[in-house]
Amino acid sequence: MGFIARYGLSDMSEIHIEEKVSSAEEIQLVIQIKEALKEDVLKNIPNFYCPLTHDLLQDPVVTEDGITYEKQAIKDWFNKCTTENKPLTSPMTNQILFFW
């Protein structure tokens, strides 16, 4: 039986590691693997919140750098850039945007 199957790590539900491992080193290793798996899972969950307003997206738009914003929030950002006589940039990556 493989390590992941042995310790039940394929199921992201609560793992009672104290029942399945015998040493402190094994417990620490299981904890590290579980955290790494959680991080990997979280990276693949789409973000439903605007990075500018921190509110749930209602009218999402995607800029050419791949970031999703609430439409009015990115329009306000672009208006600020224009008012300050600056190029239109992504507020998250600072990439100059030509299309949005």
11-58 per-position pLDDT tens digit: 544 545 455 556 788 788 878 877 776 666 556 556 788 999 989 899
The answer to whether 58 touches 70, Cβ cutoff 8 Å, is: yes
Assess whether 51 and 93 both reside in one domain: yes
pTM of the prediction?
0.54
Assess whether 9 and 21 both reside in one domain: yes
Under the banding of pLDDT at 50, 70 and 90, the label for residue 64 is very high
Assess whether 72 and 93 both reside in one domain: yes
Residue closest to 4 by CA, chosen among 46, 38, 34, 27: 34
> What's the total number of domains in the chain?
2
Assess whether 88 and 55 both reside in one domain: yes
Assess whether 38 and 75 both reside in one domain: no
Assess whether 60 and 100 both reside in one domain: yes
pLDDT of residue 3: 47
Assess whether 91 and 58 both reside in one domain: yes
What residues have CB less than 8 Å from 12, skipping those under 6 apart?
37, 38, 41
Q: Which domain holds residue 81?
A: 46-100
